[in-house]
Chains A and B, each alone.
Chain A
Amino acid sequence: MFVNNDVKKTMDMEDRHVIKLSDPDHPVILSTEDLHVYYGQKEALFEGDLEFASNQITALIGPSGSGKSTYLRSLNRMNDRIATVTGKIMYRGVDINQPDIDVYEMRRRVGMVFQRPNPFAKSIYDNIAFALRLRGVTGKHELDEIVETSLKQAALWDQVKDDLKKSALALSGGQAQRLCIARAIAIKPDILLLDEPASALDPVSTGQLEDTLLSLKENYTIIIVTHNMQQAARISEYTAFFNQGRVLEYDTTSHIFTNPSVQVTSDYVSGNFG
């Protein structure tokens, strides 16, 4: 395999600080061991060893190209056709990075929301209902109820309850993104992965989105990639700092932002680079 020697030299292993979790109230639900991601010959992620606590928000931060999105997309195998992913992804004791795993079933447990809001060219109602119908939920009453609950959980219900039959494409960016969250949680996943979900939104919508996420963590484990350090500080319990394809530091968010152990992390969170 191709190894980037330049990067190796500058990265001293001593300079890493990755904690193991031990919070009995929030047991580890997802972890990765020795995860490597290759785009063709190019290694984009050298090793990702992280543990994620259930019903908590974990933020992945780091400069552009640091591998955080690559890492996130590997967690529910969205990189399957694009990249080679080696190593273990343990979800509730099962390695989901194996060929014989039913990825479609797995993605129903590990949902994802993307950077650009991507509502389907369907009505608001059908955006949420159609994946459920495909899984055999056909009762009108039941569907109505799930649509309503998920929209409420995503804090969108009050704005769209009279327009459920209207096209989702007519929603504003912030509304569309919350619809995508509603769509993702309607199939009742365990874990919600969010890839810079607020990067295309204005500050007001971003604030609403953050409130939504905070209220969602009661029921879901949330892992969020963000470029916005204030956002990470505001909403997450744990933060992982990525740099040049490695996890340099992983600890509680307060530790990362007030007293980071690694110099590079300190430089990044204080805005000296990145």
Chain B
Amino acid sequence: MNSKTQNKVAIGSLYGIAGLVVLILLALLGYILVSGVPQLSWHFLTAPGKAFLKGGGVGIQLFNSFYLLILAMLISFPIALGAAIYLYEYAKDNWLTTTIRTAIEILSSLPSVVVGLFGFLFFVVKLHLGFSILSGAFALTFFNLPLLTRSIEDSLRTVSDVQREGGLALGLSRWETVTRVILPAAVPSILTGVILSAGRVFGEAAALIYTAGQSAPALNFTDWNPFNISSPLNPMRPAETLAVHIWKINSEGIMPDAKAISSGSSAVLVIAILLFNFAARYLGKRLYKRLTSA
């Protein structure tokens, strides 16, 4: 076989493999959407669930998912940002940073069910937080922190070193250079990373089953006092999320339309994550234009 044919065969097989991947993805996505979208209605998205009867919705689960996501992000983002700035802008390569990096690697490869069980023992039992949104948010922080730190560090890396030198040469301190020159330039990419990781957190189930719990008590959407037990904002109430809901009705759902609810919930989850991804790209680009006034 001469090199020209060889090249053609190689390109052909690569196209084949790439096509196969796309095809599998599209098939999966298509199946979820085709079986799920017909179930969607305003009622389905807003009504509370029913345990034995048909016609329940996922309103509470949907709200729980977003609330938990926001709380988890509020906790994990500042920590990840600080860690990433330290690791990339300040730390020298020594045993300490090597240890931190290794810890991040290990933490990011931890199975999420292990994170969940750890969260159960530590937050739920030891710290007496119970099955609560707060326990879930802490568990998600553990799950999210390594990925977010890595992604913010990568964002900082995309800002060229000549920008750092430019800041320092103007008599700016390292801190001023980081906050005034580097971060603004990195914000679009950081934002993209945050939204993408939000998608992962949004779809997480295993880490939440034992921390945020599997029950969705009825909520009073007119009561916004976070200290009332029926308030949606109460962080100490158990909160089943959409992803946990899918897992639960598939394993023990006894309502007659369990399959339909599961398909509908899956579609909502997939659509939400797709929206996250598109939003990440769109906002990242918009923000970059805005900040650089290009």
A residues in contact (CB < 8 Å) with B: 76, 78, 104-108, 111-114, 116, 118-123, 130-131, 134-135, 165-167, 169-170, 180, 183-184, 187
Residue-by-residue, is B119-137 near A (CB-CB < 8 Å gives 1, otherwise 0)? 0000000000000000000
Chain B residues near A135: list those with CB within 8 A.
171
Chain A residues near B184: list those with CB within 8 A.
121-122
Residue-by-residue, is B150-164 near A (CB-CB < 8 Å gives 1, otherwise 0)? 000000000010110
Measured CB to CB, the closest approach of chain B to A36, in angstroms, equals 22
Among the listed A107, A121, A165, which residue makes an inter-chain contact with B185, where contact means beta carbons less than 8 Å apart? Answer: A121
Whether the Cβ atoms of B170 and A166 lie closer than 8 Å is no
Whether the Cβ atoms of B180 and A134 lie closer than 8 Å is yes
Closest Cβ neighbor of A134 among chain B residues: B176
Whether the Cβ atoms of A165 and B293 lie closer than 8 Å is yes
Among the listed B160, B165, B293, which residue makes an inter-chain contact with A122, where contact means beta carbons less than 8 Å apart? Answer: B293
Closest Cβ neighbor of B171 among chain A residues: A108
A167→B176 CA distance, assembly (Å)? 21
Known A-B contacts A108-B171, A130-B180, A131-B172; A120 and B294 likewise in contact (beta carbons under 8 Å): no
Among the listed A122, A165, A167, A187, which residue makes an inter-chain contact with B170, where contact means beta carbons less than 8 Å apart? Answer: A187
Additional A-B contact list (17), CB under 8 Å, known A122-B292, A167-B293: A78-B165, A105-B171, A107-B168, A107-B169, A111-B169, A114-B169, A118-B163, A118-B165, A121-B291, A121-B292, A122-B291, A123-B293, A131-B170, A134-B180, A166-B293, A166-B294, A187-B171
- Report the interface size for chain B: residues with CB under 8 A from the other chain: 21
Whether the Cβ atoms of A112 and B173 lie closer than 8 Å is no
- Which of A118, A165, A170 has the most B CB atoms < 10 Å from its CB? A118
Chain B residues near A183: list those with CB within 8 A.
166, 170
Whether the Cβ atoms of A114 and B180 lie closer than 8 Å is no
Chain B residues near A187: list those with CB within 8 A.
170-171
Check if B104 is an interface residue, CB within 8 A of chain A: no
A107→B173 CA distance, assembly (Å)? 10
A76→B166 CA distance, assembly (Å)? 13
Check if B181 is an interface residue, CB within 8 A of chain A: yes
- 16 A-B contact pairs sorted by A residue (CB < 8 Å): A78-B169, A106-B171, A107-B168, A107-B171, A111-B169, A114-B165, A119-B166, A120-B166, A120-B181, A121-B185, A166-B293, A167-B293, A167-B294, A170-B294, A187-B170, A187-B171
Whether the Cβ atoms of B170 and A108 lie closer than 8 Å is yes
Whether the Cβ atoms of A184 and B292 lie closer than 8 Å is no
A120→B169 CA distance, assembly (Å)? 13
- Which of B163, B165, B169 has the most A CB atoms < 10 Å from its CB? B169
Chain A residues near B292: list those with CB within 8 A.
121-122, 167, 169
A183→B292 CA distance, assembly (Å)? 16
- Which of B163, B166, B171, B185 has the most A CB atoms < 10 Å from its CB? B171
B residues 27-80 near A (Cβ < 8 Å) are none
A195→B163 CA distance, assembly (Å)? 15
Chain A residues near B162: list those with CB within 8 A.
114, 116, 118
Residue-by-residue, is B169-210 near A (CB-CB < 8 Å gives 1, otherwise 0)? 111110010001100110000000000000000000000000
Chain A residues near B185: list those with CB within 8 A.
120-121
Closest Cβ neighbor of B176 among chain A residues: A134
